[in-house]
A and B are shown apart, each in its own frame.
Chain A
Amino acid sequence: MVRLITHNLLACHVKRCTTNNFPLQLKDVQLALREAEFNADFLRGFMPRLEWTALVQAACQVGDDSLPLEAPEMVDDEFLKNLHHVLLEIHIEEGAMVCPNCQHVYPISNGIPNMLLAENEIG
């Protein structure tokens, strides 16, 4: 599955594409919403490791504007619930991720992103 938790970790790895290669832009996405078990400890622990701006931007691209533009210093339950939903409950089933730098297209099909490159594209 591609949820935004994974999207926040992925970067373009085409040969010599090393700057502005993150975050990948979501394109033509088909979404599915599935409930996931809420785990506040996970969310609190993972928050500092997130690229926040990339997450907010990706959330907007899938139609969710519940997150603040800047990561809050104090987190309350409502915020954690929103973060949980954005990270773990929105599944991108079909579509693509496009590199903002070299425009390479990484397709997503049946919920699985294809990050394979052709031999001549590998760095």
Chain B
Amino acid sequence: MSTKVTATVVDSDPSLYEENHVHQVYDQIASHFSATRYKPWPIIAAFLSSLPPGSVGLDSGTGNGKYLPLPIERPGSVWTIGLDRSRNLLRAARTAGQSTREVVWGDVLGKSWRDGAFDYAISIATIHHLATPKRRMDAVQRLFECVSPTHGRVLIYVWAIEQDAQSKRQIPTSTDQSALGQDVFVPWVLTSQTAPRKPNRQHVRDEADLAVDTQPVEPQTFNRYYHMFAEGELDELVRCAAVNLGLAVGASETDADAGIEIVQRGWERSNHYVEVRRWRRA
């Protein structure tokens, strides 16, 4: 299915805007969305496989919880807690990978964890749903705050302006503001054809799912808000978040007591990603 992406402007209170163009949409498309999202991306899977046994982490914006069962080769040696704003997606996340998962209904801008509680945090395809630069930076800051100041690791993925050649999405030609990223609507069309093709093993079907599936065939289009990130924009967000927390940026600098180090960064499958490690001088 080819999806036409259109430019948009955030023209109201950002939290209200997100409520209308992100949270409500996901709650409505949850079961169909969930059925199309079951394959973990390689770099994220590798990150989760590199964690020592006993690690506990946060998946901030877990969606249907597809990363909660990982690492697949040694299940139960690591626990990831899933947080999401969509309660309907959490119903799927709760039983992701046919086992009971830990999920929390909350906002990625919330701070409902004791400081430094986690060994790691991932935020995959989530921060691009926040409607202002400040809110996106706050979300990054929350990730830094919830992991250990001595060894916490954070992996962030956001949607890129630079799209994969294989992507069928048509992106509007950018304005002169492209260095600042671009705000867009990405349509999700609900028709009988987009009903889950393979019976979904990852989530329990319940009343809400059935209600959606039995609706008449009239196709419905839901526009989801995204901020498409420009090259370098995610790095800048990470830098600003670190500075706001009084953290140096770079490998254990001599004149700083604490900081973050960018372990890897890059572009994969139409997304920018960055992995960060927190450090503190002993």
Cβ contacts under 8 Å, B103 to chain A: 1, 112
Do the beta carbons of B100 and A9 come within 8 Å of each other? no
Do the beta carbons of B15 and A116 come within 8 Å of each other? no
Do the beta carbons of B105 and A113 come within 8 Å of each other? yes
Closest Cβ of chain B to A56, distance in Å, is: 16
Tell me if A11 counts as interface (CB < 8 A to partner B): yes
Do the beta carbons of B114 and A91 come within 8 Å of each other? no
Can you list 29 A-B contacts with CB-CB less than 8 angstroms, sorted by A residue number?
A1-B101, A3-B102, A5-B56, A5-B81, A9-B81, A9-B113, A9-B118, A11-B112, A12-B112, A22-B114, A37-B75, A37-B76, A42-B54, A42-B77, A42-B78, A43-B54, A44-B54, A45-B54, A46-B79, A47-B54, A49-B148, A91-B100, A111-B94, A112-B94, A112-B103, A112-B104, A114-B106, A117-B107, A117-B110
Cβ contacts under 8 Å, B4 to chain A: none
Q: Which residues of B contact A (CB under 8 A)?
A: 15, 52-56, 75-79, 81, 83, 85, 87, 90, 94, 100-107, 109-114, 117-119, 148
From the candidates A9, A10, A39, A113, name the one contacting B76 in the complex (CB within 8 A).
A39
Bound together, the chains give a CA A102 to CA B103 distance in angstroms of 24
Tell me if A16 counts as interface (CB < 8 A to partner B): no
Cβ contacts under 8 Å, B15 to chain A: 119
Interface residue tally for chain A (C-beta within 8 Å): 35
Which partner residue on chain B sits nearest A44 by CB separation?
B54
Bound together, the chains give a CA A51 to CA B116 distance in angstroms of 12
Cβ contacts under 8 Å, A76 to chain B: none
Residues 101-116 of A, flagged 1 when their CB comes within 8 A of B and 0 if not, give 0000000000111111
Cβ contacts under 8 Å, A58 to chain B: none
Instruction: Given A39-B76, A41-B77, check contact A46 B56 (CB 8 Å).
Output: yes
Do the beta carbons of A45 and B94 come within 8 Å of each other? no
Cβ contacts under 8 Å, A13 to chain B: 110-112
The 5 closest A-B pairs by CB, nearest first: A45-B54, A115-B106, A41-B53, A115-B112, A39-B76
Bound together, the chains give a CA A13 to CA B115 distance in angstroms of 11
Which partner residue on chain B sits nearest A91 by CB separation?
B100
Residues 8-31 of A, flagged 1 when their CB comes within 8 A of B and 0 if not, give 011111000000001000000000
Tell me if A122 counts as interface (CB < 8 A to partner B): yes
Instruction: Given A91-B100, A115-B104, A116-B107, check contact A1 B94 (CB 8 Å).
Output: yes
Do the beta carbons of A10 and B104 come within 8 Å of each other? yes
Bound together, the chains give a CA A115 to CA B114 distance in angstroms of 13
Do the beta carbons of A42 and B106 come within 8 Å of each other? no
Interface of chain A residues 74 through 123 with chain B (CB within 8 A): 91, 111-117, 119, 122-123
From the candidates B52, B78, B104, B113, name the one contacting A113 in the complex (CB within 8 A).
B104
Tell me if A55 counts as interface (CB < 8 A to partner B): no
From the candidates A2, A36, A49, A123, name the one contacting B54 in the complex (CB within 8 A).
A49
Which partner residue on chain A sits nearest B95 by CB separation?
A1
Do the beta carbons of B79 and A123 come within 8 Å of each other? no
Bound together, the chains give a CA A46 to CA B112 distance in angstroms of 20
Cβ contacts under 8 Å, A91 to chain B: 100
Cβ contacts under 8 Å, A46 to chain B: 54-56, 79
Instruction: Given A3-B102, A37-B76, A115-B106, check contact A9 B54 (CB 8 Å).
Output: no
Bound together, the chains give a CA A91 to CA B77 distance in angstroms of 19
Tell me if A66 counts as interface (CB < 8 A to partner B): no
Bound together, the chains give a CA A6 to CA B106 distance in angstroms of 13
